[in-house]
Amino acid sequence: MATVVSHIGLSEQETVLLKSMFNLLSSSSKISDIIFEPKNDVKQLPDIILVNGDHENSLDSWHSLSNENKCITPIFVTNNPDKYPQAYKMNRPIGVKRLMSALEDVTQTVTNKQTTNQSKSASELTILVVDDSFPIRKYMEHTLPTLTAASLTVEFASNGEEALEKMLTSTYDLVFLDVMMPGINGYKACKTIKSLYNSSVVMLTGKKSPFDKVRGTMSGCNSYVTKPPENSRLKTIVEECINHRANTFN
């Protein structure tokens, strides 16, 4: 089955250029299994979407789409690549070499993650705990393995930037994410994670106001836990994630 590529917010000139490039590359058999369908021609959900990373409305449209369709991979087309340090990107002006490089990056990462997932059994779970508090990280390190008989691999990051760097090379089923951290806060990190990966995200916070829970929900998190987390609540979250993974295998 061919991989479908579409776009959000690119100019008509860029769209025409991309269509010509894909036709050229396809005829040369370099990307015969990838087809480009401009926005108005898409007949199914794309596998990869080129997002205008320099236009806020396009980014808003992407976030809305990604909240409902986690399997679509974005490539941000931009004049400011530093704005997307952890994401796939293609610098403007669009060119054949830049297009091929971006597509190869996506393909390689997807292949690596599929290989990792296939090597794991349904009862194995990989967890990333992101919190700038050392006591919280140690608590989760000692507590999480006692909550289930399943095999858990638990890794840690002390801030949002470190977490996003880890997710470039590793696949996590579940991410516990602190809200208040230096640098990228939990809400922004959650938005990025949910737009790029299929991980479940649980926000960890010391705040209890309804407004904070609304912000967490709007950022795309799957659940919200107040610190210090209760063991029973953590156990429920871990078991739900294990059950979801088992259903995926069946």
Contact between 205 and 183 under an 8 Å Cβ cutoff? The reply is no
How crowded is the C-beta side of 79, counted as CA atoms within 13 Å?
3
Query: How many domains in the chain?
Result: 2
Same domain, 169 and 244: yes
pLDDT tens digit sequence for 100-118: 888 888 776 655 554 454 4
Do 44 and 140 have their domain in common?
no
93 shares a domain with 129:
no
Question: pLDDT for 118-166, tens place per residue?
Answer: 445 555 789 999 999 999 999 999 999 999 888 889 999 999 889 988 8
Q: Which tens digit of pLDDT belongs to each residue from 81-95?
A: 888 877 889 999 999
- Domain final residue, candidates 81, 116, 151: 116
Compute the distance between CA of residue 48 and CA of residue 10 in angstroms, rounded to an integer: 14
| Pair (88, 128) in one structural domain | no
Same domain for 46 and 148, yes or no, is no
181 and 71, same structural domain?
no
- Interval 51-80: pLDDT, tens: 999 999 999 888 888 766 666 788 999 999
Q: What is the pTM assigned to this prediction? A: 0.54
Residue type, 54: D
Domain residues for the domain of 165 are 120-249
Same domain, 71 and 129: no
Last residue of a domain, one of 116, 131, 161: 116
pLDDT digits (tens, 9 = 90+) for 165-214: 888 878 899 999 998 888 888 888 888 888 778 889 999 887 665 666 66
Spatial separation of the C-alpha atoms in residues 41 and 64, rounded to whole Å: 20
Q: Say yes or no: 136 and 110 in one domain.
A: no
Q: 116, 133, 152 — which closes off a domain?
A: 116
Give dist(CA 79, CA 54) in Å, integer: 7
- Looking up residue 157, the CATH number of its domain turns out to be 3.40.50.2300
pLDDT value of position 210: 60
Same domain, 132 and 242: yes
